[in-house]
Each structure stands twice: as structure tokens, then as C-alpha cells.
Amino acid sequence: RRLRGESTALTLESVRKFLTREEDSIVFSLIERAKYPRNAPAYDPSYLGSPAKFHGLSLVELFVRETEAVQAKAGRYENPVEIPFFPRHMTSTLAPPYDFPNELHAAAAAVNVSGTIWREYLDGWLPQITSQGDDGNYAPTAAADLVCLQALSRRIHYGRYVAEAKYRDAPQDYNTAIRAQDRDALMKLLTFEGQEDAVKRRVEEKAKVFGQDVTLGKRADGGGNATDYKVDPVVVYRLYGDWVIPMTKMVQVEYLLRRLD
Ligand SMILES: O=C(O)C(=O)C[C@]1(C(=O)O)C=C[C@@H](O)C=C1
């Protein structure tokens, strides 16, 4: 077992390996959410009625808030890789401590894009991964959303670790831009276009492989049009290209700007 504070091998290779594994979690979670239609009432604060009782929360907000409180008790947020959506409603953990490695600069605590993730996932991406309709399965729908949101948040906030690995690799390159608080220069330094392209093409492929119907006697991945897959691979490609990767880069920049504080 590691001692607290002992440094671990945070390298570009190790952080990319983490991001690659997170792709599986994200694609699977989207497939699970796409099992249900849009189910709009789950997102409508008026559905639960009685605003005094639920503070005008939607079913999804209530579900995530309460589930996070249970997971906090079980120690989920003791690991700095995990960030809750409703931190003000956290109770402290009942689980005995585990010495999670603390690899980030203290300024990492100031980097948090949970609100943006929440809004843009629900308003922008959810309508693209679900079909129109309402089947009444609001609780399983909320449970599926929570898993999507957690996986997306973990991946995007992992930008803090990616940035730390890059900084440790070449502190002198970053220091000039950090001292100048130059966002554009930092963005340039941390961008690898070839890598982004590979990530986008790989998640599209994962959506095809994980989201196909498996039929005995037929070769897997016969291919076909988007409707043959449980979640549209082209949407997953765009989700990454237009959102997940840019958000991860934004997290990296925000972290690096504070890296010398
Ligand atoms: O792999 C990296 O170097 C990252 O910084 C991660 C990531 C991504 O989000 O996938 C972001 C920026 C880079 O341009 C390439 C990929």
C-alpha cells in the first residue's frame, strides 16, 4: 500500500491509459441511457409538485443529489478523481480512510466544471442519444443519467491529472505561459491534434462494437447504418470532438493557470 503523499507514476502514458478506459465507461453508460426514451417529466421540476418539499427539484436532480449523499457516506468522494454534482449536500464518509494518492497541486480544488457538464449533457446531448417518447421509467432513467454524468465528469475533470503529467514532463515550457497567464499559449502547448483524432475515431468504433446486436451464427459487427446501433456512433464521435475533448482541455488550462500558485 502506498503511503500518503508518495508520488506515483503519473505519466502521459498512464493518464492516456486512464482516459482510454473511461471511453468504455462513457460509451456503455450512453448505451444504457439510450435504452429509455427521452422521458421529459424526469427533468421537469413541476413533475414532483410541492416545491416546498423538494425545493423545486426535478426528479433527476433529486435522484442524483440523494444518491451522491449515499455514495459520499460510502466514501466515493474521498478519491480526488471523483467530484460530486451537489457538494453542498454531502455528508462525510462513514468508511475507514484509504490513502488515495494525492498527485495534484492544491489549486486543483478550484477547478470544477460540474455545472457546465450537467447543463450541456441534459440540454444538448441527451436529446441526441435518446428517442422521443415517455415510457414512465423515470427512476431507471435518472439512474442511467447519473452513471453517464459521473463517467463524463470523471473523464473531463481528469484533465487535471493530464495537465499535471504534462507539466511534470516539461515544467520550463509551461512556466513562461503560466507566469504570463496566457491561456492561448497553454492551449497550444497541451494540444496534440493527432491524439484527438485517434480518440474520436476510437470512441466511434467502440459505439459500433459495444452497441451492436449480437446474434448467434452471425459474424459480429456486420456494420450498417446508424439505426443498427444502440447509440449513434456519429453522435458519440461528435460528443467527444465537440464537447468532451474541448472540456477536458479547458480543465487542463484552468489547472495549469494555477499550477504555480
Ligand atoms: O492525450 C492528451 O494529451 C490529452 O491532453 C487528452 C486529450 C483528450 O481530451 O483526449 C486532450 C488534448 C490533446 O490534444 C489530446 C487529447
Write the ipTM: 0.99
Ligand 1 atom 1: the closest Cα is on which residue? Answer: 16
- What's the 20 CA to ligand 1 centre distance in angstroms? 11
Report the pLDDT value the prediction gives residue 1, as an integer from 0 to 100: 42
- Best substitution site from 14, 186, 188, 199 to test ligand 1's pocket, by max atoms within 8 Å of Cβ? 199
pTM of the entire predicted model: 0.94
Q: What is the CATH number of domain 12-257?
A: 1.10.590.10
Report the pLDDT value the prediction gives residue 2, as an integer from 0 to 100: 47
Report the pLDDT value the prediction gives residue 233, as an integer from 0 to 100: 98
Pocket of ligand 1 (CB under 6 A): 16, 19, 162, 190-192, 195-196, 199, 245, 248-249
Domain ranges of the chain: 12-257
Full pLDDT tens readout for the chain, 261 residues: 444 444 568 999 999 999 999 999 999 999 999 999 999 999 999 998 866 666 789 999 999 999 999 999 999 999 999 999 999 877 789 999 999 998 999 999 999 999 999 999 999 999 999 999 999 999 999 999 999 999 999 999 999 999 999 999 999 999 999 999 999 999 999 999 999 999 999 999 999 999 999 988 765 555 556 568 999 999 999 999 999 999 999 999 999 999 999
- What's the 42 CA to ligand 1 centre distance in angstroms? 34
Report the pLDDT value the prediction gives residue 245, as an integer from 0 to 100: 98
Report the pLDDT value the prediction gives residue 166, as an integer from 0 to 100: 98
Report the pLDDT value the prediction gives residue 73, as an integer from 0 to 100: 95
- What's the 191 CA to ligand 1 centre distance in angstroms? 6
- What's the 245 CA to ligand 1 centre distance in angstroms? 7
Helix/strand/coil (H/E/C) assignment for every residue in the chain = CCCCCCCCCCCHHHHHHHHHHHHHHHHHHHHHHCCCCCCHHHHCCCCCCCHHHHCCCCHHHHHHHHHHHHHHHCCHHHCCCCCCCCHHHCCCCCCCCCCCCCCCCHHHHHCCCHHHHHHHHHHHHHHHHCCCCCCCCHHHHHHHHHHHHHHHHHHHHCHHHHHHHHHHHCHHHHHHHHHCCCHHHHHHHHCCHHHHHHHHHHHHHHHHHHCCCCCCCCCCCCCCCHHHCCCCHHHHHHHHHHHHHHHHHHHHHHHHHCCCC
